[in-house]
């Protein structure tokens, strides 16, 4: 099959997904209770002027498909409309808040990967022993903990009782910002650690049971080489987990940003949802869709890198 | 070179014993086979020698490799793997790392300082592969090529002892012969000590100098291959050899061993074979008989009657296959074609055949010959692209276009039995429920007991679930389910190939009996020419979806016209050291 | 068969306690939501083992009453998505073809979206509410059941015992429900437990954001949200409901894992 066709097919698939979801995002306008016009007016008075402005912008008289196409065209030109709540352009609001959320997600992913994967490998290598049971228990606990609860518990313990970390705010300068983001990132990472740990442990346990591992040991390959074989083969399920972790973390940022009062995309989403600021919600939903699609595309490319059968179109066996 | 004494393997968590008091030795350069059916412990023995028992199992007893005791020293055992003793495993599709190129996998095992650039092509050449195989991934290679790569990898560190655990069981007959010939050549050229694990006594006779026969976790008999082939000093060895049907002549009846292979613990404290042995005495049950010298040099037997066993009956003579009068066929296939989507080659490229009532017609071929596709088309599990299927004179070429009533008719005319005894029955249902459902579906009175007796099963088993049955019993239940409505045609897809030899004969006998009693026609799909010789009236030889030869069994197998048929015949181990050539 | 591990017994005990609390809360703690503004927020003390919140409500009573809101909703999500997912998964896996392709594309798409995020957006735009949150989560969770069930069905679909049933001319419905489902039920059930746990976490998250239950209701997520500004006055008002969510979800996860492992072992022991 080769790289070119593979990349083309995956890109086309991603584009279809984004288009489908963008239609859903546009549909949010019609989902909101009350008429579209009311929704877009928000708390503004329904004067002839404001209604005309809305008409000019949204062409509510046109068929829905035409409205969608216009809206999508505006989006492609970078025009995301204006916030009902503040009247400011949505694109600017997003631009202000994207860096924080991305930094938080990246930080959280890093923490999760640094803790989750080594622990999963440790559990698989010590299968059935005390260390493994501990790892498995930690994994279950992590998976069961909602980020907001973890965040608050961390706040109570590390900011309240121990006072090691700041409780609120984003800090000034790189080091201080990292300092401030540590607790939120840790709150995000706890669930992700649980997931990464489970996937990597399960994948490695499965691979270590395979014939090729026994054969490799039987012909005298050194233990690190054998482990390398097994790790390489458990890469694909780990990539799946990594994808789920990153997309799940985008959802987690909403909760964590609220808990720690951080001005990111998540807290903006909650504020906009509460205020029924539909244009902002739409823009956020679209942005998150793009981010998720990008992550999934990266995971797909990762599969192809990790497994020659994917890119060379080999058989199942 | 290799010495095992009093080896036992237990599972501490459950207290089960899987292997006890296994002792044998192998001299430098000698080749020894360990032969046994499933559950005999032959593979565990090999694993224990390497110190690679599956998790949860613990070995005790003495293991000496190259004059050095290793059972108490895992580190020494690890150091010896590869350079002193190496293993070739059964399944070529799982033994290589799927994500690493063949050449790199071989290079991983080279001793320190060896240059992969010269060594890998040399090893590949030694196993008869071109050098460019090194750059390919396992999924780009055929089964036979993978097994050769496996051999090259096992040889990379130049071991002095090679263990091979059923190295060719997963391969086609003709490939099997090539790979075995290769292993023997390499073993002789390198003067390696060789330990072969196999279920096939004749293959063991052909490949090895001496043979160790195991049963239910114990050694039954040891002897030189030639001696053992001539005369067996243990009833089990004798039964095992007799149950393996010959390919060169038809027997009036295949001597079957009653019952099935027991677990080690089920026969603790007695001779493991007693319950199935026709020569058993009271003392066979009193204690476990030890291995004792019996007769010729180096011969050991664990039978208390080793010295006074009655002479083995003379090899039964061949009989002619009964001639059947031609009549209106129950199955008539004309020009059947099928190509699976995404496949370049047709699975069936125009096959025609007929089956008369009460006739057993064998379809023989290797994997990829289309024989299973043929069976599935006949029963409507697969839809042919072109061609006609007449079942009892009615057109059943396309089940999707037939009326409900016509489909029901067709289903009652043709039934099928499958290969794998472990998945042929619904694990969640009792035997009784499965058979009752079948009887009701076929519009028969729900007399489960009578149906079970028809296939030689104790009706008391009706309350059990499949997990509590042996492989042979499950296959009998599957046969009962298929014949519940006395179908005119029974399609048998490799029904005995997953069974132990001693059980296989029972099932073949049952099928032959059912043919007489119900005058069911059978389409018998198999890769095993010996089975064909025993059971079938006519046969068709399939290769790559085409029928290359057909005719009465005796004619085709005695005077094969097509070179491919001759190849297949030559691939059956004959038990002499001339084979595999 | 291995003995049932202690962790599973502990998990079952937690689930029993939570179920009892959910079932009998109105009788156990009839006055859980009664406000006592005179008392206000206090730390643990006599009469209030976990203290009170800023409305003077006893935290322990709220915790017990909260089970009645938090657990049945999550159960409804798990059960609803299990029903839908099993029906679609069975049908798609058994019949294959374009319906299967369509169902799987849909499931893949939904699976790649974080359920909580979609729930926040949809429930938020629609105006929130507990019933709505549950309905949205059912739709978002069903694809995981569908995938799991379809995978398990495909594993069984071409086994000889199913093909033998086809050859006996049994109806597709009978084969799906009487032959296939009993053999994959434990997988489906194990997955439902994992979904149950995740639904509990998601619903409490929605409540925490004010998109689930109404303000003032005794729900774990909601209680936590109501008291987070009073973190230092009585941390137990925050810690206790947080731990309740975690412990219940962990117990569900442990039971689900245990069910899964039993299936695995049985598969290997065949």
Is residue B488 within 8 Å of B392, Cβ to Cβ?
Answer: yes
Which has more pLDDT, C263 or A290? A290
Structure token pair of residue C188: 């489906």
pLDDT in tens, C186-229: 889 989 999 999 999 998 888 888 887 776 677 888 888 877 77
Listed residue (C212, C121, C127) closest to A269, CA to CA: C121
- Å from A68 to nearest chain B CA? 39
pLDDT at residue B9, as a whole number: 94
Which has more pLDDT, C64 or B214? B214
The total of other beta-carbon atoms located within 10 Å of residue A40's CB is: 23
- Å from B117 to nearest chain C CA? 42
Structure token pair of residue B419: 């290969």
Q: Which residues in chain A have their CB less than 8 angstroms from residue C108's CB?
A: none
Q: Which of C160, C166, C167 minimises the CB distance to B423? A: C160
Q: What is the pTM of this model?
A: 0.86
pLDDT at residue A317, as a whole number: 34
Q: Which of C126, C208, C250 minimises the CB distance to A32? A: C126
d(CA A87, CA C1): 66
Which has more pLDDT, B367 or A41? B367
CB contact under 8 A, B156 and A217: no
pLDDT in tens, B521-579: 999 999 999 999 999 999 999 999 999 999 999 999 999 999 999 999 998 888 888 88
Listed residue (B397, B486, B398) closest to B442, CA to CA: B486
Q: Which of B81, B156, B157 minimises the CB distance to A217? A: B81
Structure token pair of residue A110: 């890093």
What ipTM was assigned to the predicted interfaces of this complex?
Answer: 0.87
pLDDT in tens, B243-277: 888 888 898 888 888 888 899 999 988 999 999 99
The total of other beta-carbon atoms located within 10 Å of residue B564's CB is: 18
Secondary structure class of B335 (helix, strand, coil): strand
pLDDT at residue A178, as a whole number: 81
Phi, psi (deg, nearest 5) at residue B363: -115, 120
pLDDT at residue C268, as a whole number: 43
Listed residue (B53, B45, B33) closest to B167, CA to CA: B33
Judging by DSSP bridges, how do beta strands B2-11 and B58-65 pair with one another? antiparallel
Residue B187 has pLDDT above 50, yes or no: yes
* Degrees to nearest 5, angle at CA B115 with B111 and B118: 120
Which has more pLDDT, A83 or B353? B353
d(CA A230, CA A127): 15
CB contact under 8 A, B97 and A212: yes
Average pLDDT, chain C: 84
DSSP string across A102-156: HHHHHHHHHHHHHHHHHHHHHHHHTTTSHHHHHHHHHHHHHHH--HHHHHHHHII
Phi-psi label, residue A42: left if phi above 0, alpha if psi -120 to 50, beta otherwise: left
CATH number at residue C243: 1.10.3720.10
Structure token pair of residue B272: 């493991």
Judging by DSSP bridges, how do beta strands B331-338 and B300-301 pair with one another? unpaired
Query: Residue C16: inside a domain, yes or no?
Result: no
pLDDT at residue C2, as a whole number: 57
Enumerate the domain spans of chain A: 3-76, 97-306
pLDDT at residue A79, as a whole number: 82
pLDDT at residue B323, as a whole number: 67
- Å from A84 to nearest chain C CA? 14
C-alpha Rg value of chain A to the nearest Å: 24
Q: Which residues in chain A have their CB less than 8 angstroms from residue C193's CB?
A: none
Tell me, yes or no, if B345 comes closer than 8 A to chain A by beta carbon. no
d(CA B31, CA B163): 10
d(CA B168, CA C127): 67
Residue B314 has pLDDT above 90, yes or no: no
pLDDT at residue A313, as a whole number: 63
CB contact under 8 A, C205 and A148: yes
Enumerate the domain spans of chain B: 1-84+160-247+279-305, 98-158, 354-570
Residues above pLDDT 70, as percent of chain C: 88
Residue B482 pLDDT grade (very low, low, confident, very high; cuts 50, 70, 90): very high
Q: Which residues in chain C have their CB less than 8 angstroms from residue A147's CB?
A: 205
Residue B326 pLDDT grade (very low, low, confident, very high; cuts 50, 70, 90): low
Residues above pLDDT 90, as percent of chain C: 32
Which has more pLDDT, A50 or B238? B238
d(CA B393, CA B410): 10
Is residue B76 within 8 Å of B95, Cβ to Cβ?
Answer: no
Residue C140 has pLDDT above 80, yes or no: yes
Residue B121 has pLDDT above 50, yes or no: yes
- Mean pLDDT over B46-57 rounds to 90
d(CA C270, CA B468): 10
Is residue B165 within 8 Å of B87, Cβ to Cβ?
Answer: yes
Is residue B131 within 8 Å of B117, Cβ to Cβ?
Answer: no
pLDDT in tens, B55-92: 889 999 999 998 888 888 888 888 899 899 999 998 88
DSSP state of B160: S
pLDDT in tens, B127-148: 999 999 999 999 999 999 999 9
pLDDT in tens, A286-303: 898 888 889 988 988 888
* Residues of the domain holding C252: 57-269
pLDDT at residue B320, as a whole number: 74
Query: Residue C8: inside a domain, yes or no?
Result: no
CB contact under 8 A, B97 and A312: no
The b-or-e profile of C199-226 (16+ CB within 10 A means b, else e) is bbbbbbbbbbbbbbbeeebbbbbbbbbb
What's the CATH architecture for A97-306? Orthogonal Bundle (1.10)
- Å from A312 to nearest chain C CA? 23
CB contact under 8 A, B418 and C2: no
CA-based nearest residue in chain A for residue B80 = A220
CA-based nearest residue in chain B for residue A207 = B97
Inter-CA distances, C165 with B155, B282, B521, Å: 48, 47, 21
The top-level CATH class assigned to B354-570 is alpha beta
What's the CATH architecture for B1-84+160-247+279-305? 3-Layer(aba) Sandwich (3.40)
C-alpha B385 chain-centroid distance:
33
Residue C105 has pLDDT above 80, yes or no: yes
Is residue B254 within 8 Å of B532, Cβ to Cβ?
Answer: no
pLDDT at residue B255, as a whole number: 82
Element (H, E) at B550: strand B546-552
Listed residue (A191, A112, A125, A122) closest to C253, CA to CA: A191
Residue B5 has pLDDT above 50, yes or no: yes
Query: Residue C231: inside a domain, yes or no?
Result: yes
Q: Which residues in chain A have their CB less than 8 angstroms from residue C235's CB?
A: 156, 160-161
> Who contacts C98 (Cβ-Cβ below 8 Å, separation ≥6)?
none
Average pLDDT, chain A: 85
Q: Which of C167, C169, C170 minimises the CB distance to B416? A: C167
Residue C265 pLDDT grade (very low, low, confident, very high; cuts 50, 70, 90): low
CA-based nearest residue in chain B for residue C182 = B428
Instruction: Determine which of B173-177, B574-578, C49-53, C265-269 has the lowest per-residue pLDDT on average.
Output: C265-269
Phi-psi label, residue B403: left if phi above 0, alpha if psi -120 to 50, beta otherwise: beta
CB contact under 8 A, A160 and C121: no
Residue B507 has pLDDT above 90, yes or no: yes
> What's the number of domains chain C is made of?
1
pLDDT in tens, B6-35: 999 999 988 899 999 999 999 999 999 999
Phi-psi label, residue B298: left if phi above 0, alpha if psi -120 to 50, beta otherwise: left
Residue C176 has pLDDT above 70, yes or no: yes
Q: Which residues in chain B have their CB less than 8 angstroms from residue C164's CB?
A: 416, 418, 424, 478, 481-482
Residue C1 has pLDDT above 50, yes or no: no
Residue A60 has pLDDT above 80, yes or no: no
d(CA B425, CA C163): 10
Range among A155-164, B455-464, C56-65 with highest mean pLDDT value: B455-464
Average pLDDT, chain B: 91
* Degrees to nearest 5, angle at CA C129 with C125 and C133: 80
B 12-71 near A (Cβ less than 8 A): 50, 52, 55
Write down which chains contact chain B via at least 3 CB pairs under 8 A. Answer: A, C
Is residue A276 within 8 Å of A205, Cβ to Cβ?
Answer: no
CA-based nearest residue in chain C for residue A143 = C250
> What does the longest C-alpha to C-alpha distance in chain C come to?
76
pLDDT at residue C39, as a whole number: 67
Q: Tokens 């005179």 sit at which residue?
A: C38
Q: Quick one: how many helices (H) and strands (E) in chain A? A: 14, 0
- Å from C23 to nearest chain A CA? 23
Instruction: Determine which of A296-300, B251-255, B371-375, B487-491 has the lowest per-residue pLDDT on average.
Output: B251-255
pLDDT in tens, B510-523: 999 999 899 999 99
């Amino acid at each position: 099959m080769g790289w070119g066709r593979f990349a083309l097919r995956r890109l086309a698939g991603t584009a279809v997904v984004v288009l489908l979801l963008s239609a859903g995002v546009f549909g949010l306008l019609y989902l909101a209770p009350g008429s579209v016009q009311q929704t877009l007016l928000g708390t503004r008075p329904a004067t002839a002027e404001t209604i005309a402005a809305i008409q000019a912008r949204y062409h509510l008289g046109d068929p829905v498909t035409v409205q969608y196409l216009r809206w999508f065209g505006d989006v492609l030109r970078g025009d995301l409309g204006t916030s009902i709540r503040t009247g400011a352009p949505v694109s600017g609001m997003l631009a202000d808040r994207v860096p924080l959320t991305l930094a938080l997600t990246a930080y959280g992913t890093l923490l999760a990967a640094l803790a989750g994967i080594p622990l999963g490998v440790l559990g698989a290598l010590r299968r059935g022993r005390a260390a493994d049971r501990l790892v498995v228990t930690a994994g279950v606990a992590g998976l069961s903990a909602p980020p907001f609860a973890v965040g608050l518990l961390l706040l109570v313990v590390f900011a309240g009782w121990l006072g090691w970390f700041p409780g609120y705010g984003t800090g000034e300068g790189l080091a201080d910002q990292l300092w401030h983001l540590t607790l939120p990132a840790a709150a995000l990472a706890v669930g992700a650690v649980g997931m990464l740990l489970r996937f990597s442990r399960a994948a490695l346990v499965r691979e270590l049971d395979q014939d090729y591992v026994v054969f490799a040991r039987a012909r005298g390959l050194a233990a690190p080489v054998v482990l390398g074989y097994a790790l390489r083969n458990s890469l694909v399920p780990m990539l799946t987990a990594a994808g789920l972790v990153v997309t799940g973390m985008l959802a987690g940022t909403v909760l964590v940003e609220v808990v720690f009062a951080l001005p990111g995309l998540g807290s903006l989403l909650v504020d906009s949802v509460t205020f029924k600021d539909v244009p902002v919600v739409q823009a956020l939903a679209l942005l998150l869709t793009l981010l998720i699609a990008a992550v999934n595309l990266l995971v797909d490319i990762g599969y192809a890198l990790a497994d020659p059968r994917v890119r060379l179109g080999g058989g199942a066996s | 070179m290799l010495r095992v004494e009093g080896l036992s393997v237990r599972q501490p968590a459950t207290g089960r014993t899987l292997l006890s008091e296994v002792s044998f030795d192998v001299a430098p350069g000698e080749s020894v086979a360990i032969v046994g059916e499933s559950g005999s412990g032959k593979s565990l023995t090999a694993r224990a020698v390497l110190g690679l028992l599956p998790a949860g199992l613990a070995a005790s007893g003495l293991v000496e490799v190259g004059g050095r005791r290793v059972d108490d020293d895992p580190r020494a055992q690890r150091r010896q793997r590869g350079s002193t003793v190496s293993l070739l495993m059964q399944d070529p599709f799982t033994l290589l790392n799927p994500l690493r190129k063949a050449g790199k996998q071989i290079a991983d095992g080279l001793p320190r300082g060896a240059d992969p650039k010269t060594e890998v092509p040399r090893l590949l050449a030694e196993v008869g592969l071109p050098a460019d195989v090194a750059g390919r991934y396992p999924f780009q290679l055929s089964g036979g090529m993978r097994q050769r790569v496996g051999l090259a990898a096992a040889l990379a560190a130049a071991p002095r002892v090679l263990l091979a655990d059923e190295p060719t069981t997963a391969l086609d007959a003709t490939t099997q012969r090539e790979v075995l010939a290769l292993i023997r050549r390499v073993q002789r050229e390198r003067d390696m000590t060789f330990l072969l694990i196999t279920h096939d006594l004749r293959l063991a006779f052909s490949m090895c100098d001496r043979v160790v026969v195991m049963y239910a976790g114990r050694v039954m008999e040891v002897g030189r291959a030639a001696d053992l082939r001539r005369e067996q000093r243990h009833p089990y060895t004798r039964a095992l050899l007799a149950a393996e049907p010959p390919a060169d002549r038809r027997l009036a009846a295949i001597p079957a061993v009653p019952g099935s292979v027991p677990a080690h613990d089920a026969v603790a404290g007695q001779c493991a074979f007693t319950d199935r042995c026709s020569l058993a005495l009271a003392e066979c049950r009193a204690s476990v008989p030890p291995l004792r010298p019996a007769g010729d040099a180096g011969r050991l037997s664990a039978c208390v009657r080793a010295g006074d066993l009655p002479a083995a009956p003379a090899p039964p003579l061949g009989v002619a296959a009964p001639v059947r009068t031609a009549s209106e066929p129950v199955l008539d296939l004309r020009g059947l074609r099928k190509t699976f989507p995404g496949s370049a080659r047709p699975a069936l490229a125009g096959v025609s055949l007929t089956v008369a009532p009460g006739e057993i017609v064998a379809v023989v071929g290797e994997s990829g010959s289309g024989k299973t596709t043929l069976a599935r088309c006949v029963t409507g599990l697969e839809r042919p692209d072109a061609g006609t299927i007449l079942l009892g004179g009615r057109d059943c070429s396309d089940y999707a276009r037939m009326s409900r009533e016509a489909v029901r008719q067709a289903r009652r005319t043709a039934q099928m039995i499958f290969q794998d005894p472990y998945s042929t029955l619904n694990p969640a249902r009792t035997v009784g429920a499965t058979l009752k459902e079948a009887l009701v579906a076929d519009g028969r009175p729900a007399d489960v007991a009578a149906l079970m007796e028809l296939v030689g099963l104790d009706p008391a088993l009706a309350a059990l679930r499949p997990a509590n049955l042996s492989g042979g019993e499950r296959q009998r239940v599957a046969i009962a389910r298929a014949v519940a409505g006395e179908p005119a045609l029974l399609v048998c897809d490799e029904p005995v190939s997953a069974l132990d030899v001693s059980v296989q004969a029972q099932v073949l006998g049952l099928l032959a009996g059912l043919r007489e009693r119900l005058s069911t026609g059978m389409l018998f799909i198999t890769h095993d020419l010996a089975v064909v010789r025993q059971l079938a009236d006519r046969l068709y030889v399939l290769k790559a979806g085409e029928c290359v030869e057909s005719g009465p069994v005796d004619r085709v197998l005695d005077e094969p016209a097509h070179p491919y048929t001759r190849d297949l015949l030559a691939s059956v181990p004959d038990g002499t050291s001339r084979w595999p050539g | 068969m291995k003995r049932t591990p202690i962790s599973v017994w502990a998990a079952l005990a937690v689930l029993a306690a939570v179920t009892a609390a959910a079932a009998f809360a109105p009788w156990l703690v009839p006055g859980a939501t009664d406000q006592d503004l005179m008392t206000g927020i206090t730390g643990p003390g006599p009469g209030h083992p976990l203290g009170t919140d800023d409305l003077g409500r006893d935290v322990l009573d709220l915790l017990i009453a909260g089970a009645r809101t938090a657990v049945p909703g999550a159960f409804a999500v798990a059960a609803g998505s299990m029903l839908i997912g099993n029906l679609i998964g069975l049908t798609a896996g058994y019949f294959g073809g374009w319906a299967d392709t369509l169902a799987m594309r849909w499931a893949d798409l939904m699976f790649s979206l974080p359920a909580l995020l979609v729930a926040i957006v949809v429930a938020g735009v629609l105006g929130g509410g507990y019933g709505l949150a549950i309905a949205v989560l059912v739709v978002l969770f069903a694809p995981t059941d569908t995938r799991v069930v379809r995978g398990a069905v495909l594993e069984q679909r071409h086994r000889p015992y199913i093909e033998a049933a086809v050859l006996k001319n049994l109806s597709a419905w009978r084969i799906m429900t009487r032959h296939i489902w009993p053999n994959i039920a434990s997988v489906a059930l194990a997955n439902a437990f994992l979904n149950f746990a995740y639904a509990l976490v998601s619903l409490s998250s929605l409540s925490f954001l004010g998109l689930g239950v109404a303000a003032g209701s005794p729900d774990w997520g909601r209680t936590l949200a109501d008291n987070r500004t009073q973190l230092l006055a009585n941390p137990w008002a925050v810690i206790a409901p947080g731990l309740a969510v975690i412990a219940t979800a962990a117990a569900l996860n442990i039971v689900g894992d245990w069910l899964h492992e039993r299936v695995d072992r049985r598969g290997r022991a065949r």
